[in-house]
Structure 1
Amino acid sequence: MSRKKPPAGGTPAVRLLKASGTPFALRAYEHDPAAASYGLEAAEVLGVDPARVYKTLLAQTDLPRDRGLVVAVVPVAGQLDLKALAAAVGAKKATMADPALAERTTGYVVGGISPLGQKRELRTVIDESALIHDTVLVSGGRRGLDVELSPADLVALTSATTAPIGRP
């Protein structure tokens, strides 16, 4: 079976970072398909505190904008608080989006969904804990690739808001 190569110039997330002139570092590692958690695997393999590694999740809300889809970015060591996310975007409720819908909407595969360079720009909320770090790591657009950048740059590039949407 042949492996699909990443597009020339990198993933859409990496191309966005390069085009914007944003300082970042690529952090690649060999992904283990048996790993129970993509984010915790990245933290362990890269030797990074899990509090600095963030996962990208898609949630479905009752809002009409973008079919109710919202991107949530939370620490890999915790969970997304769906009630807090709903409150942060002014929705009555939020549920996790279907993984197939998340992949179609973002253009990335589950476990490699980046908040950067998605096919459609969706409303994005980043857990406010990201702001206490000098740099954070998020998926670079494929399993086994993270990008490290400042939280302020992540907020700016995704036009995100920050709110307390994560829980331990």
Structure 2
Amino acid sequence: MAKKKRSSGGTPATVTLDRAGVPYEVRAYDHDPAAPSYGLEAAEALGVEPARVFKTLLVDTDRGLGVGIVPVDALLDLKAMAAALGTKKATMADPAAAERTTGYVVGGISPVGQKKALPTVLDVSAEQFPTILVSGGKRGLDLELSPADLLTVTRGRTAAIARRQ
């Protein structure tokens, strides 16, 4: 996959990927603010199966915040996430805390290029695809890259953290 260069600075996510030399493709679409699910909207707009589009969710634990990345057509299993992070309990993080910590707005939180490096867990289902899509740092912008490259740049690991609805 060829890296798409941007003429201006891009988002913190694209800047981080460029600096790391990670190949990725920018996938933009017209975001509808009234969409009930940003992730499912992205999958439909980009013509990609929802299992290949991943959402970035922040959790709060007794050790601080963590990042869970799961398919948009699944839920984050909080017990599995807590186990993957080595904590007793995980709850969904306050949206304001998520925005403050990552530097992104809810609905556009990228797992890449966050203001503060957080423990990151990618659902194992990502490994079945050569590339997946994650938020590029703003609503209406996704980045397509390999799961291995995503794990490298986020210093993340995989675990079974998704639960089908």
> What's 1:15 paired with?
15
Distance 1:86 1:21 in 2: 31
Amino acid at match of 2:69: V
Distance 2:62 2:97 in 1: 16
Distance 1:31 1:124 in 2: 26
1:104 aligns with 2:91: no
% identical aligned pairs: 68
Q: TM-score of the superposition, structure 2-length normalised?
A: 0.94
> What's 2:116 paired with?
120
Q: Name stretches of at least 5 consecutive residues in structure 2 with no aligned partner.
A: 1-7
Amino acid at match of 1:56: T
Q: Name stretches of at least 5 consecutive residues in structure 1 with no aligned partner.
A: 1-7
Aligned length: 157
Query: Of the candidates 141, 149, 154, which is equivalent to residue 153 of structure 1?
Result: 149
> What's 1:54 paired with?
54
Q: Which runs of 4+ in 1 moved over 2 A?
A: none
1:43 aligns with 2:31: no
**1:18, distance to aligned residue in structure 2 (A):** 1.2
3-state SS of 2:56 partner: strand
Amino acid at match of 1:130: A
Q: TM-score of the superposition, structure 1-length normalised?
A: 0.92
**1:126, distance to aligned residue in structure 2 (A):** 0.6
- Root-mean-square deviation (Å): 0.6
> What's 1:83 paired with?
79
